[in-house]
Amino acid sequence: MRRDLRGALLLLLTAAVQSSSMSAPGKPVLLSCRSPEKETFTCWWEPGSDGGLPTTHHLYYERERLEGTYECPDYLSAGRNSCFFDKNHTSIWVDYYLTVMASNALGNATSDPFKMDVMEIVKPDAPENVTLRVEEREASPCLHVRWMPPSNTDTKSGWVTIKYELRVKKDNSNNWKEYTSGTQTHFSLYSVSPGGVYTVQVRCLLDHGEWSEWSNTTFVKISNYLQNERPLSMLISILSAILFIMAGLILIAKRKSVKQWVLPPVPGPKIRGINSQLLQSGGSDDVGNVLIIKQSFPPIYFVWEDQMEDYLIVTENEDWLSSNSQKRKKSLIPACFHFDSEIHSKESPCHKNDWEKDEEISQVDNNNKPFTNTGYVDFQRHVENVDVKHVDYSRVKEVKSDNILFLEKEKVQSSGYIHFQRQEGIPEDYSRVKEVESDNLVVLQKQNAADLSCKDEGNHYTDCALHKPRKPHVCTELSDSGYVDTIPAPPLM
Amino acid sequence: MALKKTDSSKLLMAVCSSVPISDLLDRASQGSDKLHALSTIISQDLNSHFPPIGQVIMPRPSMCHTSSLQTPSDKQQTLQVSESDLLSLARSLLQAWSDPLLMGPAAQTISLLPFSGGNDIGQDRISQLINFNFLLSCFRRDSHKIDSFLKVLRCRATKAQPQMC
């Protein structure tokens, strides 16, 4: 009896001791849920203390648009403390309210409700089958990466849209370089150098959910093939060096022509009629010939034919200066001309000689005589530009005696006029008009017979004061239709 | 004259080729993708301001104003819907969100939104936030629906190009 009582008391004591560590289970906590492909999902919880007793957990859920409370369909597929919802039990765009209840012999404990929508918990698996392929190109190698989408995703119907990302690391460094691949399942890397070990990882994203984990690392070693290429590059560099040297030698050999081509000579100023070479090399005689127009007739003639020059009258007579304008524009009129035809000064052969004559005269006579001492410095002028309009001509109708001219009443324009020789050393062939009686009668001053070195024989005109003999064809005859230059300016007297 | 007109209009029709459906759907799904991305970012940002426990037990004032629209709720159902129905669903959803403040029974709760210009007394502010959060979650869901429907349609329209799916 006492032994029974002691045994009972001991049992009661042990029971009492034991029962102090036993309790109802602690409150479990729902951790997270995840859907890898938008078709199924799994939820995990963490159990609280089990209270020392075997505790069971149950997951219950309610769903939007679905009446009633349901229990988890699958506790096993996803491992411990998890609940797997298969395709039949998964709906999207509806809210799930989940609770986990832990129960043991002593009681229950219910977790807080967990609200979720499948749309919000999408996180795919990592991409599979990542392969690397090295393409060895001449300049630099490149790396081609290929992979497959996670096997449980449906890529055929358009239900999911997967985007990819990859990262690359060289050798053992910790610097990953990330690249975005979009929806392509391949990618090419060009910034790889030979002689290194490259590690590549890929991950993916479904719709706008969470990124997956990185795939398993894949390694590839790019061989250092550059050594093989060295002889070729050396050969190329040697050849190009030889070419450069040859080009340089050719340039040096032809440096003069190169210099001419690169820096063409600048043309210097040219003075017409002056040959700079001649100036440099020739004697003073030649220089004088060039500057003084004494002998070089042909050139000047040609010059005269081309250019247009104004005449500048140089005179020492102040009276004449004051009464006349300094400049008179006259054309160079040949002493000889054809009366019965139009004067074509250019075509007339007389031109040449007359020009000669005038020049000579201007050179020879330097005596100072009033009015008569007019030397002309003739600037060439185009014959057509002669102010013929300003000069009115009157045609000589009749020459009565040796000093009376009858002019025709009509005025005739002409570009020619006669030069009369004067015996007083006057270089120009002018007759002084003594008197103008009517509008068609001109009385010329009689010349001094003593000084007359040439005489006016009626209608003939003879050339007197020339030093050089004149050529016969140069002289022509003055016919009745002679011209007298009547200058509307102040009278010649 | 009338004859000539029809000739020219026929000619116009012959000259202007229609845009292929696949291109249109591709463009539309790019837009819906952007829309869903934005709604996700905004609602996540707003949720981050709430304590984690508050997110879970947040009451839903009412159903979304587009709940009346019968939409498929899983992949199988979605793939069984015809193309025209999918397209009309997407269009209806978009129309519902063109001016959400006028639509449905949620209009009463939305009157407490922050920008209504009402008084900001503490309690009101929280309810305003709750309502706004609710509106955003509805928008996020609907934008995801639109995006999914258009992408399914795009995939169906481009049988020859599997990379579009």
- Tell me, what CATH number does B54's domain have? 1.20.1250.10
All residues of chain A having their beta carbon less than 8 Å from the beta carbon of residue B57 are 112-113, 115
Q: Which residue of A has its CA nearest to B30?
A: A161
Residue A34's SS3 state is strand
Q: Are A444 and A431 in contact (CB under 8 A)?
A: yes
Residue A431 has what pLDDT? 67
What DSSP designation does A439 have? T
ipTM: 0.79
Chain A partners within 8 Å of B164 (Cβ): 158
SS3 A130: strand
User: What is the pTM assigned to this prediction?
Assistant: 0.54
Question: Is B159 part of the contact surface with chain A (CB cutoff 8 Å)?
Answer: no
Question: Does the beta carbon of B148 lie under 8 angstroms from any beta carbon of chain A?
Answer: yes
* Beta-carbon separation of A112 and B57 below 8 A: yes
Asked if residue B119 is part of any domain, the answer here is yes
Residue B52 covered by a domain: yes
Q: In percent, how much of chain B has pLDDT > 90?
A: 35
- Do residues A98 and A30 touch, judged by C-beta distance below 8 A? yes
Q: Stretch A71-76: mean pLDDT, rounded?
A: 94
Res A150: pLDDT: 94
pLDDT of residue A401: 66
Tokens at A59, concatenated: 């997951």
Q: What is the pLDDT of residue B109?
A: 47
Coil, helix or strand for A456? coil
Please indicate if any CB of chain A lies within 8 Å of the CB of B40: yes
| Residue A174 DSSP symbol | S
Identify all chain A residues contacting B78, using CB atoms and an 8 Å cutoff: 159
Q: Which domain holds residue B64?
A: 26-164
Q: Are strands A162-170 and A177-182 parallel, antiparallel or unpaired?
A: antiparallel
Q: Which residue has the higher pLDDT, B49 or B69?
A: B69
- Please spell the DSSP secondary structure of B26-69, one letter per residue: HHHHHHHHHHHHHHHHHHHHHHTTS-HHHHHHPPP-S--TTTTS
Does the pLDDT value for residue A290 go beyond 90?
A: no
Gap between the Cα atoms of A338 and A345, Å rounded:
10
Query: Whole-angstrom Cα distance, residue A189 to residue A216?
Result: 18
Query: Measured between beta carbons, which residues in chain A are less than 8 angstroms from residue B140?
Result: 119
Output the pLDDT for position A19: 55
Confirm or reject contact between A66 and chain B (CB < 8 A). Answer: no
pLDDT mean over A464-479: 42
- Indicate whether A375 pLDDT > 70: no
Q: Does a structural domain hold residue B2?
A: no
Task: Tell me the nearest-neighbour CA distance from A158 into chain B, angstroms.
Answer: 4
CB A426 within 8 A of CB A451: no
Which residues of chain A are within 8 Å of residue B40 when distances are taken between CB atoms?
208
Quote the tokens at residue A320: 């004449």
| H/E run at residue A221 | strand A218-221
- A181 Cβ contact list (under 8 Å, min separation 6): A163, A164, A165, A166, A187, A202
The answer to whether residue B63 is domain-embedded is: yes
Task: Note whether residue B60 is domain-resident.
Answer: yes
Overall domain count for chain B = 1
Q: Return left, alpha or beta for B68; rule: phi > 0 is left, psi -120 to 50 is alpha, else beta.
A: alpha
Interface of B with A in 65-94 (CB under 8 A): 71, 73-76, 78-79
What sign results for the dihedral spanned by CA atoms B100, B101, B104, B109? positive
Q: Is residue B7 part of a domain?
A: no
Instruction: Report the distance separating Cα B24 and Cα B7, nearest Å.
Output: 29
pLDDT band with cut points at 50, 70 and 90 for residue A102: very high
- What pLDDT band is residue A223 in, cutting at 50, 70 and 90? confident
Residue A159: what pLDDT?
92
- Does the pLDDT at position A59 exceed 90? yes
Does B16 fall in a domain?
no
Where is pLDDT greater, at B31 or A368? Answer: B31
- A184–B75 C-beta distance less than 8 A: no
**pLDDT for A312-360, tens place per residue?**
555 665 554 444 444 444 444 444 444 434 434 444 444 444 444 444 4
Tell me the average pLDDT across B32-43: 94
CB-CB under 8 Å, A38 with B37:
no
Q: Is A137 on the interface with B (CB under 8 A)?
A: no
pLDDT of A426 over the 80 cut: no
What is the number of residues in chain A?
Answer: 493
Give the residue-averaged pLDDT of A435-441: 71
User: Within A155-283, where are the H helices?
Assistant: 226-253, 255-262, 276-281
pLDDT in tens, B77-88: 999 999 999 999
